[in-house]
Structure 1
Amino acid sequence: MTIKRAYSVDQILSKKFIDIKFEDEWLATFGEPEASGVWLIWGQSGSGKSRFCMQLAKELTKYGKVAYNSLEEGARKTMQKNIRECRMHEVKKKFIVLNREPIEHLKIRLKKKQAPRFVFIDSFQYTGLTRNQYIKLKEEFPDVLFIFISHAEGKEPQGNTAKFVRYDSDIKIRIEGYKAFPTSRYGGGEPYIIWKEGARDYWAGITAT
């Protein structure tokens, strides 16, 4: 058995990372995270989750190529509507939609030259990944940022494996009432408003009850 070498304190402190230099509201929400690792987004249907993911995907095109693997929805009219409303044609050179691409096929894509740096996978439940398969995927592609989108069970991700991914993620984002509530290891922490009018009406209703 080969034991991995240990790092000294000086080696750790001098190590360089590729960061996402977010600005404005994105910086307030996420801080300056690494451009690799795992994020998890979850929320109930109709909460603004799909719109937020597309807004985030558009922002990430400033920092590299983005792939959105729509395992659940596929290239359907609802996806077209979301793409149109978020004006994704403005970033079409750096954004692609994968139509229900199996994880094994995605791995082949990620090994090619000029592969996407940021990969959305919607939804985690549709991947069928076990805990060990998830770990193997992220370890196989240490320079990729995987952003998994999960179904919700109450205010938690649905299923034990998704809950494991939540604890393992660098950034965890719960969506409710057209707001994104982040927990980030890189700073930030401010809620992100996905849709002002929808958020105003939803939270006004919560306050009134």
Structure 2
Amino acid sequence: MASGTKDAAQVIAELTATNANLREQIRSLEKTLWKRDHPVLRRALSVSDVMRMKKETYPFEGAWEEAFGRPEKNGVWFVWGNSGNGKTSFMLQLCKALSHFGRVAYDSLEEGASLTMKNALMTAGMQDVARRFVLLDRENMQLLSARLGKHKSPDIVVIDSFQYTKMSFKDYEAFKERHANKLLIFVSQADGNKPAGRTAVSVMYDASLKIFVSGFRAISKGRYFGSKGYYTIWEERANIYWGETKE
């Protein structure tokens, strides 16, 4: 009889503990649902609040400022264009200009450390900024993300080209969020005047600076513009393409 009483007591204790655990789970679920239905809203900003904000920018000068003004640091830039229009040359010239403001890594997923890339580096005079520029030879996005997470990692990274990353838009958003303290510049193949592929188009719309390379000019398509709105990559070829050759 005592044994039976003991067994019943154990069952009651176990049921009591189970009920307590269930009550705790219910309370936790209720809190979660309450937070979902009662989101904490951030304070709306007045015009004066926005005007007082100090934003770090890249202090471009000369031709760079005339093309793109002084864009805000970090975030995402997106560059696209068809082959043979000076896209790689532009990217290396841009890297050289940006190297004055931070360390730059160029992840060449498409060309890698090929002879054509070597020649392009030489033509752009990248030896002049060798201490602030590195070329990554087809480093996949997982390895690149690990690199960017390390201490003293590059401040600016070029990913060329977006199509070779195999990223979905969700992958892109996660990568951007993970490295919000970097400037991420995605280079894309083109389909006519638009980036090639639906995901690339979505990333282009999300980017803060959009640059279309055509006829040896890099043309700002938003959201930053200078007095000209374009950067000339190769003046002689650009003049021929755009019909501006002087007689």
TM-score (norm 1): 0.92
The reply on whether 1:89 has 2:139 as its aligned counterpart is no
The 5 A counterparts of 1:59-208 are 59-188=97-226, 190-204=229-243
Instruction: State the shift of 1:112 in Å.
Output: 1.0
Tell me what 1:6 maps to: 42
> Counterparts of 1:63 and 1:167 in 2: how far apart (Å)?
25
Instruction: State the shift of 1:42 in Å.
Output: 0.7
Q: Structure with the greater relative contact order (CA < 8 A, sep ≥ 6): 1 or 2?
A: 1
Following TM superposition, where does structure 1 have runs of at least 4 consecutive aligned residues deviating by more than 4 angstroms?
1-5, 10-13
Instruction: State the shift of 1:9 in Å.
Output: 1.8
Q: Is 1:64–1:116's contact at 8 Å kept on the other side of the alignment?
A: yes
Q: Is 1:67–1:95's contact at 8 Å kept on the other side of the alignment?
A: yes
> Counterparts of 1:62 and 1:184 in 2: how far apart (Å)?
23
Instruction: State the shift of 1:203 in Å.
Output: 2.0
Compared CA separation, residues 6 and 88, structure 1 to 2 (3 A)? same
Structure 1 counterpart of 2:212, one-letter code: R
Q: What whole-Å deviation, never above 9, does each CA across 1:110-165 have from its counterpart, x for those lacking one?
A: 11111111110000000000000000111111111111110000110000000001
Instruction: State the shift of 1:18 in Å.
Output: 2.1
> Counterparts of 2:69 and 2:115 in 1: how far apart (Å)?
34
* Aligned CA-pair RMSD: 1.8
Instruction: State the shift of 1:183 in Å.
Output: 2.0
Tell me what 1:33 maps to: 71
Compared CA separation, residues 5 and 119, structure 1 to 2 (3 A)? farther
Q: Is 1:31–1:184's contact at 8 Å kept on the other side of the alignment?
A: no
Structure in which a larger fraction of residues adopt helix: 2
Instruction: State the shift of 1:8 in Å.
Output: 4.1
**Which deviates more from structure 2 when the two are superposed, residues 100-109 or residues 180-189?**
180-189
> Counterparts of 1:133 and 1:166 in 2: how far apart (Å)?
15
Compared CA separation, residues 92 and 195, structure 1 to 2 (3 A)? same
Structure 2 counterpart of 1:63, one-letter code: F
Q: Is 2:210–2:223's contact at 8 Å kept on the other side of the alignment?
A: no
Compared CA separation, residues 8 and 110, structure 1 to 2 (3 A)? same
SS at match of 1:180: strand
Instruction: State the shift of 1:83 in Å.
Output: 0.4
TM-score (norm 2): 0.79
SS at match of 1:184: coil
Q: What whole-Å deviation, never above 9, does each CA across 1:25-64 have from its counterpart, x for those lacking one?
A: 1111111111111111111110000000000000000100
Instruction: State the shift of 1:96 in Å.
Output: 0.3
> Counterparts of 2:55 and 2:193 in 1: how far apart (Å)?
33
Instruction: State the shift of 1:68 in Å.
Output: 0.2
Structure 1 residue ranges without an equivalent (≥5): none
The reply on whether 1:16 has 2:54 as its aligned counterpart is yes
Aligned residues: 206
> Counterparts of 2:238 and 2:224 in 1: how far apart (Å)?
26
Compared CA separation, residues 7 and 139, structure 1 to 2 (3 A)? farther
